[in-house]
């Protein structure tokens, strides 16, 4: 077996990558280990020269790293699409989210709204602006620390409504996932992978990346709350 392939990823894909790493170890004899943290933190590590063979992040973050020469040219590929969902503490009534009016009512009735430092948090702020609710919600947004699920803020009582990737809110104790945002307010993020420019095992890293985008990767993604990116012929 070759040396262990090291990957860096954001927290949203942590469970999916852990499952796939174990499958690759069992079925392909490839040793893979991903280190997961907040997307901002992972980008910082890469900028500072962290050693890695693979990188899995939100599409925007990958594009920035590619432009800066931190990723091997031609290896960036989209993998999975993740929808942003709303969640509440299990002790609170579950709001309806069937219409934009429902979403407005849920936002305006919340005392503290948890969001992330990642793409879902950025998209939520942009959505609040589009809904012209910035002034009404001033002071109510609570940003979870990088790498921390917004669900922990719900469970601890620091927030009574949260928006984040489904994979990061599903299964958090004390939290109920309400569902995706309705209609034109829906938010999704695309996560992709690439071989790091300084990869010690670039060919094996390419093989692992291909497996992430294979049917095996698609099945693991669906089980983890994401959907594989649809490709056109």
What tens-digit pLDDT sequence spans the chain (233 residues)?
457 999 999 999 999 999 999 999 999 999 999 999 988 899 999 999 999 999 999 999 999 999 999 999 999 999 999 999 999 999 999 999 999 999 999 999 999 999 998 889 999 999 999 999 999 999 999 999 887 889 999 999 999 999 999 988 988 999 999 999 999 999 999 999 999 999 999 999 999 999 999 999 999 999 998 999 986 44
Give the C-alpha separation, 197 to 38, whole Å: 21
Rounded to two decimals, what is the model's pTM? 0.87
Backbone angles phi, psi at 230, to 5 degrees: -85, 130
List Cβ neighbours of 142 (8 Å cut-off, separation of 6 or more).
112, 113, 114, 115, 153, 158, 159
Give the C-alpha separation, 215 to 228, whole Å: 9
DSSP E strand boundaries for 48-186: 54-58, 77-89, 113-115, 141-143, 161-165, 175-180
**Which domains, ranges and CATH numbers included, belong to the chain?**
5-81+190-228 (3.40.190.10), 82-185 (3.40.190.10)
Residue 155, pLDDT score:
94
Q: How many residues does the chain have?
A: 233
Residue 148, pLDDT score:
86
Residue 231, pLDDT score:
65
Place of tokens 């009735």: 109
- Judged by phi (left if over 0) then psi (alpha if -120 to 50, else beta), residue 76 lies in beta
Torsion angle of the four alpha carbons 214, 197, 10, 148, in this order, in degrees rounded to the nearest 10: 160
Per DSSP, what are the bridge partners of residue 115?
A: 143
Residue 3, pLDDT score:
78
Q: Which two tokens stand for residue 164?
A: 């984040």
The DSSP-derived string for 125-165 is HHHHHHTT-TTTTTTTEEEPPTT--HHHHHHTTS-SEEEEE
**Contact between 60 and 69 (Cβ < 8 Å):** no
Residue 2, pLDDT score:
59
């Amino acid at each position: 077996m070759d040396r262990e392939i090291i990957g860096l990823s954001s927290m949203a894909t942590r469970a999916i990558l852990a499952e796939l790493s174990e499958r690759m170890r069992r079925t392909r004899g490839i040793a893979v280990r991903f280190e997961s943290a907040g997307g901002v933190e992972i980008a910082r590590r890469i900028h500072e020269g962290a050693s890695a063979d693979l990188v899995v992040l939100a599409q925007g973050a990958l594009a920035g790293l590619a432009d800066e020469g931190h990723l091997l040219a031609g290896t960036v590929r989209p993998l999975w699409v993740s929808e942003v969902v709303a969640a509440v503490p299990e002790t609170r009534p579950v709001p309806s989210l069937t219409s934009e009016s429902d979403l407005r009512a849920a936002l305006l009735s919340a005392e503290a709204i948890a969001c992330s430092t990642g793409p879902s948090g950025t998209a939520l702020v942009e959505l609040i602006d589009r809904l012209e609710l910035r002034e009404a919600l001033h002071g109510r947004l609570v940003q979870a620390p990088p790498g921390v699920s917004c669900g922990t803020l719900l469970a601890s009582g620091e927030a009574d409504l949260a928006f984040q990737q489904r994979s990061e809110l599903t299964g958090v104790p004390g939290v109920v996932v309400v569902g995706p945002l309705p209609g034109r307010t829906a938010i999704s993020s695309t996560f992709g992978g690439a071989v790091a420019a300084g990869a010690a095992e670039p060919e094996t890293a390419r093989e692992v990346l291909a497996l992430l985008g294979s049917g095996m990767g698609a099945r693991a993604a669906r089980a983890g709350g994401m959907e594989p990116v649809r490709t056109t012929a």
